[in-house]
Every structure is written in C-alpha cells, then in structure tokens.
C-alpha cells in the first residue's frame, strides 16, 4: 500500500510542476536537491519525507494536502491505522517508569557522556537502534 501512496504523491508532484511550467532542474534548485531526486519522487521510487513535502508544497504554491487529493479511501485508512499503531507503541513505552527514569538520567549527563552511552546502547543491541 505504501508504494501506491508514494506513486500517487509523485504523480501529483509531476502534475503540479508541469502545470507551473517548471523543469525538474528548476524545482530541484528551489528545494535544494538534484533533479534526479525529483525524478525519483515523481515515479515513486523514493519516498518524500514530511520536511521535503513541505518544501515542495511551498515551491509549488499548494497546501501539503494537495498531494493527497484523490488518494483512495482504503489508502487513507491505511495511513491512519499506521499512525495509530506508532502512537500506541510510543505511548506504552513512555508510560513506563523505567523509560522516564532512563530519559531523566540521560539528560542529566554532559554531551560527551550522553554520546558514549548512546554508542554503548547501540552496540549492545547490535547497532539496530535508529538514529533520532
């Protein structure tokens, strides 16, 4: 389903860019990427991050919601469901006393010890922790 959404956003991006008479190169220069990146967005090969979508909406003079216009109801429900799952998982994790104690202790450390502690935690988990 996510791939369908990426393709839909890319089509909307291409449609608006062409409507304004912009080349991929011109749009890329406006948002600070190479034209190849715009190509990848337009064909759905690369996902558009929230920050980049915001930049594109500003450059193309449309609200962010423009890119989602015409998205099927099933895809909208899928997106909403994914957001609820992430929210629920995060809510449960941060509701634990242990998590809050760890966060408080972490931020009481100086910058260098915090980085070292984060590196240690990543190494204990096999490096699978995503960078924030």
Pick the CATH number of 2-68 from 1.10.3720.10, 1.10.260.40, 1.10.150.130, 1.10.3860.10: 1.10.260.40
pLDDT at residue 40, rounded to an integer: 95
Q: How far is CA 52 from CA 27, 32, 56, 82, in A?
A: 12, 10, 6, 20
Domain extent listing, the chain: 2-68, 73-124
Nearest to 9 by CA among 58, 89, 61, 75: 75
Residue 46: pLDDT band (50, 70, 90) is: very high
- How do residues 60-87 score in pLDDT, each as one tens digit? 999 998 998 887 776 666 666 665 665 5
Q: What's the Cα-to-Cα distance from 34 to each of 39, 44, 53, 62, rounded to whole Å?
A: 9, 16, 15, 21
Q: What predicted TM-score, i.e. pTM, was given to this entire model? A: 0.57
Contacts of 62 (CB under 8 A, 6+ apart): 16
């Amino acid at each position: 389903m996510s791939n369908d959404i990426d393709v839909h956003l890319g089509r909307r991006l291409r449609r608006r860019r062409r409507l304004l008479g912009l080349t991929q190169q011109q749009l890329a220069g406006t948002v600070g990427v190479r034209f190849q990146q715009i190509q990848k967005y337009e064909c759905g090969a690369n996902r558009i991050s929230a920050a980049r979508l915001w930049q594109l909406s500003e450059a193309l003079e449309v609200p962010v919601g423009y890119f989602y216009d015409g998205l099927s109801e099933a895809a909208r429900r899928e997106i909403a469901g994914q957001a609820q799952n992430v929210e629920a998982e995060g809510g449960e994790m941060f509701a634990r006393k242990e998590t809050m104690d760890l966060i408080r202790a972490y931020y009481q450390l100086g910058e260098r010890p915090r980085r070292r502690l984060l590196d240690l935690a990543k190494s204990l988990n096999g490096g699978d922790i995503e960078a924030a």
